[in-house]
């Protein structure tokens, strides 16, 4: 294996430990990967550089371009597949569940769903996909009726007070 001395740490290292750099005659960087990484890390941590990066990321044209690129990227079949696999990992599912169940997240979501424009959009989406949604629910019910029964029972146990209150309120009105 070919070895090369890093200009920064002065260690004699395997060439695979250097980044490729086409602008240099030997085709690899002067610093080893570790030194380059370390340099980039400390460079990005400088307040003035941090501010510059932030400013760049906030630019509307940059955002727009990035959004457009992400859309194209995420729609690539192999990327879609990878994302799906990632999101369906049990560990990720659990993580999402834990996040959703955090009281502050729950409260925020409740507030969000109360917003009239969100409600309207939800209704619109439901109207548009009514058939499909009903189909999915039906399939879900068929797949595991016991599980659903159990979930309903648990929900009732946890929301007993609220449901009783709702029933009482309804009775008062009628
Ligand atoms: Zn080095």
**Tokens linked to 50:** 């941090």
Side-chain half-sphere CA neighbours of 77 within 13 A = 0
pLDDT, tens digit, for every residue of 2-46?
899 999 999 999 999 999 998 988 899 999 999 999 999 999 999
Residue 1: pLDDT over 80: no
The phi, psi pair for 112, rounded to 5°, reads -60, -45
Residue 20 alpha carbon to ligand 1 centre in Å:
14
**Residue 99 DSSP one-character state:** H
Residue 151: pLDDT over 90: no
At 107 the pLDDT is 94
Residue 1 alpha carbon to ligand 1 centre in Å:
18
pLDDT, tens digit, for every residue of 49-81?
999 999 999 999 999 999 999 999 999 999 999
Residue 11 alpha carbon to ligand 1 centre in Å:
6
Spans of all domains in the chain: 3-45, 145-174
**Tokens linked to 72:** 């194209």
The phi, psi pair for 173, rounded to 5°, reads -70, -30
pLDDT, tens digit, for every residue of 153-171?
888 888 888 888 888 888 8
Residue 54 alpha carbon to ligand 1 centre in Å:
29
Residue 41 alpha carbon to ligand 1 centre in Å:
14
């Amino acid at each position: 294996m070919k070895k090369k001395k890093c200009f920064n740490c002065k260690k004699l290292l395997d060439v695979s430990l250097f980044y490729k750099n086409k602008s240099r005659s030997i085709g690899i960087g002067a610093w080893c990967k570790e030194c380059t990484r370390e340099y980039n890390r400390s460079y990005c941590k400088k307040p003035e550089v941090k501010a510059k990066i932030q400013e760049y990321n906030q630019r509307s044209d940059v955002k727009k371009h990035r959004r457009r690129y992400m859309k194209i990227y995420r729609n690539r079949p192999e990327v879609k597949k990878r994302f799906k696999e990632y999101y369906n990992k049990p560990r990720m599912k659990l993580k999402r569940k834990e996040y959703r169940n955090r009281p502050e997240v729950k409260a925020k979501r409740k507030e969000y769903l109360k917003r009239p424009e969100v409600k309207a959009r939800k209704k619109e989406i439901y109207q548009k996909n009514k058939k499909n949604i009903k189909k999915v629910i039906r399939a879900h019910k068929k797949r595991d009726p016991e599980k659903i029964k159990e979930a309903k029972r648990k929900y009732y146990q946890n929301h007993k007070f609220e449901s009783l209150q709702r029933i009482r309120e309804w009775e008062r009105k009628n």
